[in-house]
Amino acid sequence: MNEKILILDFGSQYTQLIARRIRELYVYSEIVPFNKIPELDDSIKGVILSGSPFSVTDEKALQTDLTKVIGQRPVLGICYGAQYIAQQYGGKVERSLKREYGKANLSRVYKKDRFLDGVPENSQVWMSHGDTIMEVPEQFELLAGTAHVDVAAYRSKEGAFEQPVYGIQFHPEVSHSLDGMKFLRSFVKDIAGCHSEWTPAAFVEETVAELKKQIGDDHVLMGLSGGVDSTVAASLLHEAIGDALVCIFVDNGLLRKNEYEEVLHSYKDMGLRVVGVDAREDFYRELKGVTDPEAKRKVIGRVFIETFEREALKLEEEDRAIHWLGQGTIYPDVIESVSVHGPSVTIKSHHNVGGLPEKLKLKIVEPLRMLFKDEVRLVGKELAVPQNILGRHPFPGPGLGIRILGEVTPEKVAMLQEADAIYINNLRKFGLYDNVWQAGTILLPIQSVGVMGDERTYEKTVALRAVDSRDGMTAEWSRLPHDFLATVSSEIINNVKGINRVVYDISTKPPSTIEWE
């Protein structure tokens, strides 16, 4: 196993970001609940305690056994983590009279230390805390402060513990801390002694070897969606076991125009053993009369499971060696399902394919379960996954089913596919596709008056949606050029019968979601 940094999660909204920043240093990081500290084997080189929405002064403050990590490995406490360490070792932590939130500067440096190497004077950092450390314990000493906070950074005194302990009351992982990566690099590489060995090439080599050992001579069944995660997962499995991987790609009638044929062709060019299933009529039949968004999602999920199960049973009759179900689960799916209050890890239900493993008596294999989305793309590039799949925008599992507001019909799907194709093709033509995180067209359940020639029309409206984001958790609407929007609007209205109005969605997330349903 690669050397790694262990992150104890106390519930901060930034915990995932800490892990991602460390991985940007090509060092593997892993998140565990604060009260589920594993045995510290030789692979664990350092431990980070995350921030938290809780206060260390509360009666029900989240607590862990610090003796399991302090003195055992180099430790870095961030915000709540720093306050918790200070409090547990006899320091004073109190509620601040004024909550410190936002930009601050390390205007006071009390002592030179390798943790501060390369950090300029008055370095800007991002504060977000309601408590503050008034006094550090006697085993510790101050490193830096801001104009308003005496204790912005501290460390253990030489010889106080077997391994050094650091605490900071700011968030180095967020972009507003301009030298945040320098602090993390100093801790991870200089203090914890990690090397930069967590690379896409190393991940592929190690994972392929593990998959060969895990699967042996068995065969794996996997459902493909045309998206990045399932495709890269399938590519890894194919690299490990070749044609012992059998894939199913279902046309649910809710994909983009020509997507089924194009993606199926790409899969076959990649050498994957893939079975294409045309199940459009099944989905349209079951969706008839359904208008509630959640009900539509459930119908689409149920029919997919029924289709997959039917095809899987056919394949099992032909190939009795199938014992595994491959899934494209990625790390956020895993850690978002872990409560800081300590329940066991459970993957979100939509990644369990509705109980299919139990029905088909298959074991689950998830080659990407420890990767973030950006890492999945890097691994896909290493595996030579085609760019038309690797660079594809995120696309919702229910597809156009939740981009048609109200009842889904074949006629509405065809109309939306045409309008959406014009939008996406123009994004590519104008060189904007790769600048946008996600884009799509929504068919609205309203009609409005228009004029075409000398005739009055009463037709449908589509909304164009484009957002900039890093991970989809927050999103800003994309500032697309007006001439581009004018071109798209004109082409849709002139070429798609039934649409006479185009609008552009300028809502951010939050409060709006990216999808409309």
Which position has the higher pLDDT, 119 or 316? Answer: 119
pLDDT(174) > 70: yes
Section 18-45 average pLDDT: 93
The predicted pLDDT at position 510 comes to: 84
How big is the CA angle at 235 (ends 231 and 237), to the nearest 5 degrees?
115
pLDDT(435) > 90: yes
- Helix (H), strand (E) counts: the chain: 14, 19
The predicted pLDDT at position 249 comes to: 94
Q: How far apart are CA 204 and CA 379, in angstroms?
A: 7
pLDDT(317) > 70: yes
Section 302-326 average pLDDT: 86
pLDDT(423) > 60: yes
The predicted pLDDT at position 352 comes to: 46
pLDDT(180) > 90: yes
The predicted pLDDT at position 333 comes to: 77
Beta strand 438-452 with 322-326 is unpaired
HEC string of 43-107 equals CEEEEEECCCCCCCCCCCCCCCCHHHCECCECEEEECHHHHHHHHHCCCEEEEEEEEEEEEEECC
Would you say 62 and 91 are in contact if contact means Cβ atoms under 8 Å apart? no
Instruction: Return the closest-CA partner of residue 341 out of 20, 99, 35.
Output: 35
Q: How far apart are CA 452 and CA 450, in angstroms?
A: 7
Q: By percentage, how much of the chain surpasses pLDDT 90? A: 72
pLDDT(341) > 60: no
Phi, psi for residue 12 in degrees, rounded to 5:
-65, 145
Would you say 129 and 94 are in contact if contact means Cβ atoms under 8 Å apart? no
The token duo for 298 is: 């459930």
The predicted pLDDT at position 336 comes to: 62
Section 296-300 average pLDDT: 94
Name the pTM for this structure.
0.81
The predicted pLDDT at position 242 comes to: 95
What mean pLDDT, rounded, does the chain reach? 90
> Quick one: which H or E segment has residue 421?
helix 410-429
Task: Among 85-89, 277-281, 474-478, name the one with the lowest average pLDDT.
Answer: 474-478
pLDDT(410) > 90: yes
Given the residues 3, 100, 129, 173, the one annotated as active site: 173
Q: How far apart are CA 308 and CA 275, in angstroms?
A: 11
Q: How far apart are CA 489 and CA 422, in angstroms?
A: 9
Task: Among 237-246, 418-427, 449-458, name the one with the lowest average pLDDT.
Answer: 449-458
3-state secondary structure of 425: helix
Assign 99 a pLDDT band (cuts: 50, 70, 90). low
Would you say 272 and 264 are in contact if contact means Cβ atoms under 8 Å apart? no
Per residue in 195-207, pLDDT tens?
Answer: 999 999 999 999 9
Note the helical H segments in 368-409. Answer: 373-382, 387-390
Strand boundaries in 212-346, DSSP class E: 219-224, 245-251, 274-278, 322-326
Residue type, 302: R
3-state secondary structure of 405: coil
Distances (CA, A) of 43 to 4, 61, 102, 193: 6, 30, 35, 11
The predicted pLDDT at position 453 comes to: 66
Annotated catalytic residue 238: no
Annotated catalytic residue 79: yes
Q: How far apart are CA 165 and CA 141, in angstroms?
A: 10
Assign 475 a pLDDT band (cuts: 50, 70, 90). confident
pLDDT(440) > 90: yes
pLDDT(340) > 60: no
The predicted pLDDT at position 349 comes to: 37
Q: How far apart are CA 272 and CA 481, in angstroms?
A: 40
pLDDT(353) > 60: no
The predicted pLDDT at position 77 comes to: 97
Which position has the higher pLDDT, 154 or 14? Answer: 154
Crossing angle of the two packed helices 280-287 and 293-318, in degrees rounded to 10: 150
Annotated catalytic residue 173: yes
pLDDT(407) > 90: yes
Crossing angle of the two packed helices 410-429 and 280-287, in degrees rounded to 10: 120
Given the residues 171, 219, 238, 351, the one annotated as active site: 171
Beta strand 28-33 with 4-9 is parallel
The predicted pLDDT at position 351 comes to: 42
3-state secondary structure of 464: strand
Per residue in 228-278, pLDDT tens?
Answer: 999 999 999 999 999 999 999 999 999 999 999 999 999 999 999 999 999
Q: How far apart are CA 371 and CA 375, in angstroms?
A: 6
Given the residues 79, 194, 219, 238, the one annotated as active site: 79
Assign 350 a pLDDT band (cuts: 50, 70, 90). very low
Q: How far apart are CA 423 and CA 178, in angstroms?
A: 37
